[in-house]
């Protein structure tokens, strides 16, 4: 009863009862006894906010080591900023708030930072042609397929009536010039356009698919964008201005450096993560990586170039 009452209330009740029981000594003694028991209860069991906290137990050696290890781990996870860094970030935020909405677009990486997305090839490809360096070979006037030891090879015929034979398309983009690739596309569209619809896979059909993917991306846009496989690596061939993207199952796609293709942003992010294989100090590689970064950020490919 009295445990939920304040001392003033109890004293008031006590005084009123004492006035009533002045003539009854036995009742007065009984009331004093009950009041004493109530005061002892309040003193022995204080309210929760008045309770004293029990003393902490001394930690053992094992617990101390565990606590020390936990404290170090938490300190590593925290990002401690220096005062100067905080000031610079505050100034940057203030500048962004004052800038107009059109200038708040995410900025692409600068040219000096694109080197982190490049890796130098262990073995630089050497030209197969016997022409001296710096001398432009005659233009390609015809190309077809011939058999050598039971295997199909691609044969190029130049204006000086000389022939060049290649066993893979990769060697063509590695050694031929951009003008050679363009001439092959024009010749192929005149002579071998029907090979694209052929049900049987042949080397002519593969070459035409590679050429159409480079020069007519609008017709294969859905294939480039939707048929996505994991990117294993991508390589730049400066001689022809072509970069090759090698996917799973040894499938390779070829694209021109100076053209914009509708790659998915996921594919572009994976390509940047894999790093571009190129020759040392390649300006064309920096140009290609900058355009790739812009597209992966959803910006125009030529932003900042």
pLDDT in tens, the chain (305 residues): 666 677 777 777 777 776 666 656 666 677 677 766 655 544 444 444 445 566 666 667 667 777 777 776 776 665 444 444 445 555 655 565 555 544 444 444 554 466 777 777 655 555 444 444 456 788 999 999 999 888 999 999 999 999 999 999 999 999 999 999 999 999 999 999 888 888 888 899 889 989 988 998 776 554 444 455 688 899 999 999 999 999 877 788 999 999 998 888 888 898 999 889 998 888 999 999 999 999 988 888 888 76
> What tokens appear for 53 in the block?
């906290």
User: From CA 209, how far away is CA 215, in angstroms rounded?
Assistant: 10
Q: Which pTM was predicted?
A: 0.59
Packing angle between helix 203-215 and helix 178-191, nearest 10 degrees? 120
Per-residue pLDDT, 26:
67
**Residue 244: strand pairing partners:** 235, 254
Per-residue pLDDT, 43:
47
End-to-end CA gap in the chain: 85
User: From CA 206, how far away is CA 145, in angstroms rounded?
Assistant: 12
**Pair 149, 192: CB distance under 8 Å:** no
Per-residue pLDDT, 185:
94
Per-residue pLDDT, 248:
79
**Pair 111, 117: CB distance under 8 Å:** no
**Residue 145: strand pairing partners:** 154
Per-residue pLDDT, 1:
60
Closest CA relative to residue 208, chosen from 224, 237, 184: 184
**Pair 138, 160: CB distance under 8 Å:** yes
User: From CA 181, how far away is CA 203, in angstroms rounded?
Assistant: 16
User: From CA 278, how far away is CA 274, in angstroms rounded?
Assistant: 12
Per-residue pLDDT, 169:
92
User: HEC profile for 182-245?
Assistant: HHHHHHHHHHCHHHHHCCCCCHHHHHHHHHHHHHCHHHHHHHHHHCCCCEEEEEEECCCCEEEE
């Amino acid at each position: 009863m009295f445990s939920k009452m304040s001392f003033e209330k109890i004293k008031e009740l006590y005084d009123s009862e004492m006035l009533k029981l002045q003539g009854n000594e036995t009742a007065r003694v009984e009331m004093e006894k009950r009041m004493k028991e109530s005061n002892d209860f309040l003193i022995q069991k204080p309210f929760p906010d008045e309770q004293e906290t029990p003393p902490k137990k001394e930690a053992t050696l094992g617990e101390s080591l565990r606590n020390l290890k936990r404290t170090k781990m938490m300190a590593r996870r925290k990002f401690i900023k220096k005062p100067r860094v905080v000031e610079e970030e505050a100034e940057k935020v203030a500048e962004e708030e004052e800038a107009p909405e059109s200038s708040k677009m995410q900025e692409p990486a600068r040219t000096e930072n694109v080197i982190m997305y490049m890796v130098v090839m262990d073995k630089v490809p050497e030209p197969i042609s016997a022409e001296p360096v710096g001398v432009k070979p005659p233009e390609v006037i015809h190309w077809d397929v011939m058999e050598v030891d039971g295997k199909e090879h691609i044969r190029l015929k130049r204006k000086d009536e000389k022939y060049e034979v290649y066993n893979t398309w990769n060697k063509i983009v590695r050694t031929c010039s951009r003008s050679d690739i363009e001439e092959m596309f024009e010749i192929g569209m005149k002579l071998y356009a029907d090979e694209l619809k052929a049900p049987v896979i042949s080397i002519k059909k593969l070459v035409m698919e590679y050429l159409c993917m480079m020069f007519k991306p609008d017709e294969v846009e859905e294939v480039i964008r939707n048929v996505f496989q994991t990117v294993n690596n991508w390589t730049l061939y400066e001689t022809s201005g072509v970069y090759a993207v090698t996917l799973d199952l040894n499938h390779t796609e070829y694209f021109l450096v100076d053209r914009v293709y509708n790659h998915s942003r996921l594919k572009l992010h994976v390509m940047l993560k894999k790093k571009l294989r190129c020759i040392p100090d390649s300006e064309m590689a920096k140009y290609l990586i900058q355009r790739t970064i812009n597209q992966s950020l959803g910006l125009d490919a030529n932003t900042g170039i």
